[in-house]
Chain A
Amino acid sequence: DTEVTQTPKHLVMGMTNKKSLKCEQHMGHRAMYWYKQKAKKPPELMFVYSYEKLSINESVPSRFSPECPNSSLLNLHLHALQPEDSALYLCASSQTGEGYGYTFGSGTRLTVV
């Protein structure tokens, strides 16, 4: 298995809703990431998990809450989002250490109404 699987592919949520994005990989990668990509913009890093511990939080608002239950799963819990949070949310994974490419999932297209 050489893929990163993200669910759901599309999500529409109201500003008062609570939802979660899920990411799964079975490549044995011990580093996992959340990126956010707005239209016609490059992906921007949100969070990094290394060995199931949060190692980088790029000053992301608390309405985004990451969780790494085990080495294969990464969640992003969403609460009280704003319409400007609408974007493509990408999960990626990699081996730890230097010189490894990242494998990205197909993303979740999130629309906040």
Chain B
Amino acid sequence: DQQVKQNSPSLSVQEGRISILNCDYTNSMFDYFLWYKKYPAEGPTFLISISSIKDKNEDGRFTVFLNKSAKHLSLHIVPSQPGDSAVYFCAASRYGGSQGNLIFGKGTKLSVKP
């Protein structure tokens, strides 16, 4: 059973617009959530994280929102740039990520068109 779900395999957005990537989880014990970006032939690159004690974390163009009651988080990219085109993975963990077991979603492929 998938504990972390990214239900949209792909998303296409115009340059300059907002990209919203969604992620749902089922395990209420998760307390730490991360977003990774992955280009082909490269390892995942850490983007942004959020602890379950917060509902929002912002870093430049990237903002992650957490809705614990809905077990839902989202990544907003504003404004979107062509270089943002990549596969985005949502990941979740217990114990603040200290135990090493990140559970990844299947990823959403973002295409930002000029």
Contacts and interface: CB of A to CB of B under 8 A. Distances in A.
A92 B29 CA distance: 23
A30 B38 CA distance: 24
Interface centre among A55, A97, A98 (most CB of B within 10 A): A98
B40 to A, nearest CB: 11
Interface centre among A58, A103, A104 (most CB of B within 10 A): A104
A98 B106 contact: no
Interface residues on B, range: 20 to 34
A50 B100 contact: yes
Interface residues of A, number: 32
B78 interface: no
B45 A104 contact: yes
Contacts of A107: 42-43
A60 B45 CA distance: 25
Given A42-B89, A99-B49, A99-B96, A56 B44 contact: no
A82 interface: no
Interface string A79-109: 0000000000011101011111111111101
A99 B107 CA distance: 22
A88 to B, nearest CB: 8
B101 interface: yes
Contacts of A56: 99-101
A61 B107 CA distance: 26
B98 A96 contact: yes
A35 B32 CA distance: 19
A105 B49 contact: no
Nearest to A58: B101
B100 to A, nearest CB: 4
B96 A102 contact: no
Interface of A: 4, 6, 31, 33, 40-45, 48, 50, 55-56, 58, 90-92, 94, 96-107, 109
Given A31-B100, A99-B96, A100-B98, 11 more contacts: A31-B98, A33-B100, A42-B4, A42-B106, A43-B102, A43-B104, A48-B100, A58-B101, A90-B44, A98-B96, A102-B34
